Chains A and B, each alone.
Chain A
Amino acid sequence: MDARLRRVNKEIADCKNDKTSNIRIELIDESPFHLKGSFPGPQGTPYEGGNFEVDIVIPESYPFQPVKMKFITKVYHPNVSSASGAICLDILKDAWSPVLTLKSTLISLQSLLCSPEPNDPQDAEVAKHYTTSKSSFEETAVYWTQIYAGGPGAKKSKESASASVARDEVAMAGLDHAHVRRFVGLGFEQGKVIDVLRRLNYRGKNIHNIPDDKVVEELLKP
């Protein structure tokens, strides 16, 4: 039997038998080389209570080349792209070793959620948010966990979700409602205000470094 197939089958079976790690690997379609992994958000982090799904593609030369992984679930994290779910983690690139398994890699992802590396960011805007104001970043991360990963309080927010879509967007971008309202009051569209403020990292102490003129100037750009 093909060594790659044997190995992948064994890894999937091992993961099924292991009830303690809470890591799950499922098939997406018939192919054993395209999988979906999932793990719970680590405790004591903004991701606690969420369930995070990961898209796994096993390359031809696995396990001698690293697996390709990206988050299916949206995650607010400096090392994960908030748009595509791409992950910045050394063992998925040059630090890969053939003895690493799907399970151990997923565990590494889990611990990546515990310890972000803002100095080597995948998503620069999120990383800026993290370094500027950790508490504000965590609020947003919790919010994303609720919305996308089915975190605690998800039901509550779902009920009111449709009623206050606007509020959602502000919180999603990790911004302060008062700030957004102020610029919307000047006659700018809310979506644009959120976009500009997020780009400028209009958060925490950083606000004092950004004069209103600068914001308005950005807002006026087509």
Chain B
Amino acid sequence: MSSEDYELSDEDYYDEDDMMDTQDDDGASAISEDMDTMDDFKISTKPVRKSYEIDSESLSQVAVEDLMNKDVEHICGIFGVPVDTASLLLRHMLWNKELLIEKYMDQPTAMLCAAGVAAPEPSSPEPSRSHSAASGSTTRRSTRSASKLLGLGKSKASSPISPVSSTASKLIPPKSGGPESFVCPICFDDTPDVPTLALVCDHQYCVNCWNAYISSKLRDEAEHAIRCMAEGCALVAPDEFVRSALKTAAVVDPTLNEDTDKLLSRFQELLVRQFVGANRKLKYCPYPGCTNTVSCPSAATKSSLNMVVPTVSCGARGIGTSMTSSQVLERESLGLQAKEHTFCFGCPIESDHRPVVCNVAKMWLKKCHDDSETANWIKTNTKECSQCQSTIEKNGGCNHMTCKKCKYEFCWVCMGPWSEHGTAWYSCNRFDEKAGVDARDAQSKSRASLERYLHYYNRWANHEQSAKLSLDLYSKTEKKMEEMQITSSLTWIEVQFMKKAVEEVDKCRRTLKWTYAMAYYLAKGNEKELFEDNQSNLEQAVEELSELLESPIEADIIPTLRQKVTDKTVYVQKRNDIVLEDTANGFLDGRWKWNTPVDGFDDPENMEN
């Protein structure tokens, strides 16, 4: 992965500077040197996937739509129904084709009713009351399954429609001044010539109400299944109806135009989201404003998430609207590309929590967020005044305590009133009582557990903090790179090693951070010791590289510094690979044992029996 990055960036440099085209003698030598420099960063050029990486494919919204359409067409072909019907059926069955085919073959009418394509037979008495002329044909048609997609204005209600026609999705406003003037039952608008729409159930409403209804569903409820507005009517509007209803409303009221475009794309997005949500092999990119989907079949099952850490990337970069323009500018000024949309396919917690698997990472974050450890600290380090219950921390001095608040005098050891100690100053005669010993045992136990947690937490938090400061480090490094170009004969390309090093440090710190979460839960044993050896090797290397990056630059040491940094970068990269690879293999082999029960792993207590 990383080696490929370097290769790519090599080409970028040539492209940008057009060096290949302007070869003179000096240029040629510069190139060969550059090649060497960049070769330093390569560990291996093998395209083999490392065991901590996972196969995934990024799909754009259009590509996902293609997948959807394929499924829909498949169903169309089997059932001989129009596209919109097939789409509604599939959505109703959450895109489970096999189940749909089975059920549809069994009871087609029931399936169509359940999916809201056709109205159940005995229902829809309303049209027969209000539009007696049209009612006969309406009910007959709707029972004959998916024949008609939607009804139009009253004028067209009686036109015959062939069973497999999908052309019925055109919307025609009724001819002006029908037999009786139409009053929309929702907004009570009786303006003549207001276009009305209805689904096959023939519940007519004005186009403005449809528009308001659909936009409220799409926007406020994120609901893609738009039911007929009539009470108890279970028909769902086909896609084509939704789109033309929105478009017709925009024709009637041109001020809606912009809004309509937004709604149409929102509708499409909701459809895609439902499809992606129903498919375990797909996941929607969680970055705000991003519409890409990642396909990762190898992380589709729950059990696979205990074997691999599916860190994937959707291919897009940058964050839509959530990043303020100043942040974007800041990053751009540093010559940084916007961050890649990297996320974990298995869980929503953090973009990249390698090498720890999702469940353990989740447990660790929960522990960190819980204030249980605060409570633990209070328990360990404080006692309550037995009179006023204030929490007191003893930070030195003798055992004769006087409560600041209520002036109660007591013995810190036995918590009894000081007056009872009489003349036995500083030696509490109840000191060795069993209760006292137990209490101290419990206290020291809880103290030890707190210390253990804090050990891991502090290191975890430290790396997290460093990662946050990486932007600062980038800008500092950028300055140094400029400085180097001035003070030495190095070119811009040649000082790139600094940036590479910073990027590598950033990446390794993320790995290191999560190794502490992992180590906290690992059961004692050789495996853990090996893990911690790898961890400490990486950490040491990263710290050394960081130090080199921070060191002051003097013209005469630049060549050696460059050599050192380049060497260290490669070394750090290797160490990081080792940690990630070894941990990933460990998960595949089932080598890691935990000191506490983890979802999906064998319970450590049962293992021993």
Contacts and interface: CB of A to CB of B under 8 A. Distances in A.
Interface of A: 3, 6-7, 10, 61, 63-65, 91, 97-100
Interface in B184-239: 185-189, 203, 205, 208-209, 212-213, 216-217, 220, 227, 229-233
Task: Classify the secondary structure of B's interface with A.
Answer: loop
A64 to B, nearest CB: 4
A77 B315 CA distance: 56
B188 A100 contact: no
Contact of B186 (A7, A61, A65, A91): A7
Given A6-B187, A10-B188, A98-B186, A64 B231 contact: no
B229 A98 contact: yes
B217 to A, nearest CB: 8
10 contacts: A3-B208, A6-B187, A64-B212, A64-B216, A65-B220, A91-B231, A97-B229, A97-B232, A97-B233, A98-B213
B231 A100 contact: yes
Contacts of B227: 97
Contacts of A64: 209, 212-213, 216-217
A10 B183 CA distance: 13
A99 B229 CA distance: 7
Nearest to B221: A65
Contacts of A97: 227, 229-233
Chain B interface bracket (under 10, 10 to 19, 20 to 34, 35 or more): 20 to 34
Q: Name A's interface SS.
A: loop
Interface in B228-271: 229-233
A64 B215 CA distance: 9
A6 B188 contact: yes
A99 B185 contact: yes
Contacts of A6: 187-189
Contacts of A3: 187, 189, 208-209, 212
Most interface-central of B187, B189, B205, B230 (chain A CB within 10 A): B187
Contacts of A65: 216, 220
Nearest to B186: A98
A98 B188 contact: no
A61 B231 contact: no
Given A98-B213, A99-B203, 6 more contacts: A3-B212, A7-B188, A10-B188, A61-B212, A65-B216, A97-B229
Nearest to A14: B188
A61 B219 CA distance: 11
Contacts of B232: 97
Given A99-B230, A99-B231, A61 B216 contact: yes
A64 B212 CA distance: 7
B167 to A, nearest CB: 28
Contacts of A7: 186-188
Contacts of A100: 231
B186 A63 contact: yes
Given A3-B187, A6-B188, A7-B186, A98 B209 contact: yes
Contacts of B203: 99
A128 to B, nearest CB: 31
Kindly list the 6 A-B residue pairs having the minimum CB-CB distance in the complex, ordered from nearest.
Answer: A64-B216, A97-B231, A3-B187, A98-B229, A64-B213, A61-B216
A159 to B, nearest CB: 46
A6 B183 CA distance: 13
B598 to A, nearest CB: 35
Contacts of B216: 61, 64-65
B552 to A, nearest CB: 62
B563 to A, nearest CB: 67
- Among A6, A7, A10, A98, the most chain B Cβ lie within 10 Å of the Cβ of A98
Contacts of A10: 188
Nearest to A2: B187
A61 B188 contact: no
Nearest to B214: A64
Nearest to A9: B188
A91 B232 CA distance: 10
A3 B187 CA distance: 6
A210 to B, nearest CB: 35
A92 to B, nearest CB: 13
Contacts of B185: 99
A6 B213 CA distance: 16
B130 to A, nearest CB: 12
Nearest to B209: A98
A99 B186 contact: yes
A64 B221 CA distance: 11
A91 B231 CA distance: 9
A88 to B, nearest CB: 19
B193 to A, nearest CB: 17
Contacts of A63: 186
Interface in B301-347: none
A2 to B, nearest CB: 10
Interface string B155-186: 00000000000000000000000000000011
Nearest to B230: A99
B117 to A, nearest CB: 19
B393 to A, nearest CB: 28
Contacts of B209: 3, 64, 98
A184 to B, nearest CB: 32
* Residue among B186, B212, B229, B232 facing the most chain A CB atoms (10 A cut-off): B186
A97 B213 CA distance: 10
A61 B187 contact: no
Contacts of B213: 64, 98
A109 to B, nearest CB: 15
A99 B220 CA distance: 19
Contacts of A99: 185-186, 203, 229-231
Contacts of A91: 231
